[in-house]
Amino acid sequence: MIKVITIDFWNTLFDSSGGNERNALRQKALLQEINNYGRNISPEEFDKALRASWEYFNKIWRQEMRTPSVQDSVAFFWKYLELPTNPEAIERIADFFANSVLIHPPKLIDGVADILPILASNYKLGIISDTGFSPGIVLRKLLEQNNILHFFDSFSFSDETGYSKPHPEAYRKVLSELGSDTSETLHIGDIEATDIIGAKQLGMRAIRFAGDSTGYFANESANPTIADAIVYSWDEIPEAIVNIC
């Protein structure tokens, strides 16, 4: 019997909308800071540094199962462009990067507001989420602004735990706080290689959510899965849970 349900944040609860606007704000802030040093950064040089920053983040995320902090990512970018060491400037930019998601927020995925209260009335709920430029403390604000924070009893954000999915510790924090065995827990998430494999390796049940086309990994929805079910909308989730049980 399922007693606890854990849910991914990005592309499961919230979509990726606003991403272009957020990145434009971040780039503008970064370029303004760089201008203080009299450096003339060409668009090509800037784009090359951005790609290198993503490769740095992705390598650590995939290979080490943790996510660099926003400060670490900005510091990498800073060093890549060979800018003078300035911890205060890096911290200032990192703070702006982190809070940009509140200026151009993503949208709650259709059906979440209707189905989440139903799940919360029958199960304990937790969030297990990998983070990038938007840390857990800021993502909690998004949950609160959308009036769904109170449905969750435990949170595992990778910038806070030091572990990202599929590392077992990313899941164990919520399992421990909610007093649940893996066999009594189901995870819902969109990425096969992190959400689903991590949950299944621990002995949890898993549902892959393939209903958000804005996700970077949306093309995975057509691939084979080891999840117990695939759903394409939140309306399908209650029935999928019943069938799994």
Give me 56's structure tokens. 């740095």
205 φ/ψ angles, rounded to the nearest 5 degrees: -85, 160
Q: Are strands 205-209 and 229-231 parallel, antiparallel or unpaired?
A: parallel
pLDDT of residue 217: 66
pLDDT of residue 218: 59
Nearest alpha carbon to residue 164 among 186, 138, 189, 184: 189
Cα angle 70, 76, 79; round to 5: 140
Three-state DSSP at 76 gives helix
Rounded CA separation 75/79 (Å)? 6
Residue 217 CB neighbours (<10 A):
17
What are the mean pLDDT values of the chain's consecutive 10-residue runs (245 residues total)? 96 92 87 82 81 90 93 91 90 93 96 98 97 95 98 97 97 96 97 96 97 74 84 97 92
